[in-house]
Structure 1
């Protein structure tokens, strides 16, 4: 009788441990914000494909852990000290841009492009993050620019993820 109570107690503790572990795993996935580069496609080619069909790099080029603040009204973000987006992208942004996908948890939210101020080509009809993309730049603020209707930057999943991580200012 005592042995069966011990077994029951052990099984219940194991189930409770598994339930709590699964719930914590889902919670952290909801609050993850990252930007992945699109593999082997130009910005124009990426724009012609469905968001879920775009091949993404395995490791994100930017995560919420590297962002210090995100100004929601201006869609500007600052990087943590000693982290440079230009250094991370050194050599990967051509004059025709480099497409990226904003991801929250495991869900792709929108397509954008890193864009060089030196480019004389047209700006794509997607959100862009512009810079000169020089290695060693002291820039720590970046603006995600977009001037069209139905702005994908305003997605509530992005807002909730960044707010839940304490990154959002000015909302």
Structure 2
């Protein structure tokens, strides 16, 4: 009799356990579980590069600036020298804070009054005064400050200082006199690093 009673109890426990397991398996996922399961996974590029999804700021890109090349070097010698081998002055002749705006389409630069005076008062060699454009600590391209009254021809990138004397926007142009046929080399005025830096600084038009 006792044995029979034990068998009945075991059967009841087994039946209850099966029902609980069945109820647990059939439960619908909660809203939190659904949200977690459908969350978008990071792309392979973001997973490999932690900075890929980082916001673009002036600090993450680096500031736009223009430095004069140190030493007695002509514009033509500058053209024949590797960019990384050009030594520049310790402080820029133009920093991003001295820019009011930079027009991407024409590469015209509107400056502050103080910057106009500095550029117009700069000593420009008869054979051009070389400069290097930087983004942060990275040199992007080299060119030369020029003056309209100079009769010499130059096939590199040029900034004519004459407009600065009238406090008009200066422009980064190809060759002097400006000519696509005359210009040689690579045009890096619209380099993505420059555009992103100017945009982050709120200077790009």
Per-residue CA deviation, residues 32-86 of structure 1 (Å, 9 max, x unaligned), is 0100000121111111110000010010000100000000000101002x22345
Choose which of 139, 148, 159 in structure 2 pairs with 1:129: 159
* Compared CA separation, residues 122 and 98, structure 1 to 2 (3 A): same
Per-residue CA deviation, residues 87-121 of structure 1 (Å, 9 max, x unaligned), is 34635211211000000011000001101101111
Highest CA radius of gyration, 1 or 2?
2
Q: Return the offset for 1:28.
A: 1.7
What TM-score do you get using the length of structure 2 for normalisation?
0.63
User: Whole-Å Cα distance in 1 between the matches of residues 68 and 163 of structure 2?
Assistant: 15
Q: CA RMSD in A?
A: 2.3
Alignment of 1:1-171 (within 5 A): 28=59, 30-40=61-71, 41-80=73-112, 82-88=113-119, 90-123=121-154, 125-132=155-162, 137-146=165-174, 147=180, 148=183, 150-169=186-205
| Conserved 8 A contact 2:135-2:197 | yes
Query: Structure 1 regions of 5+ residues with no counterpart?
Result: 1-22
Query: How many residues in Structure 1 have an aligned counterpart in Structure 2?
Result: 141
User: Whole-Å Cα distance in 2 between the matches of residues 63 and 94 of structure 1?
Assistant: 22
What TM-score do you get using the length of structure 1 for normalisation?
0.74
Higher-RCO chain (CA-CA 8 Å, sequence separation at least 6)? 1
Superposed structure 1 runs of 4+ greater than 6 Å apart: none
* Compared CA separation, residues 132 and 106, structure 1 to 2 (3 A): same
User: Whole-Å Cα distance in 2 between the matches of residues 77 and 27 of structure 1?
Assistant: 18
User: Whole-Å Cα distance in 2 between the matches of residues 120 and 35 of structure 1?
Assistant: 25
Query: Structure 2 regions of 5+ residues with no counterpart?
Result: 1-53, 175-179
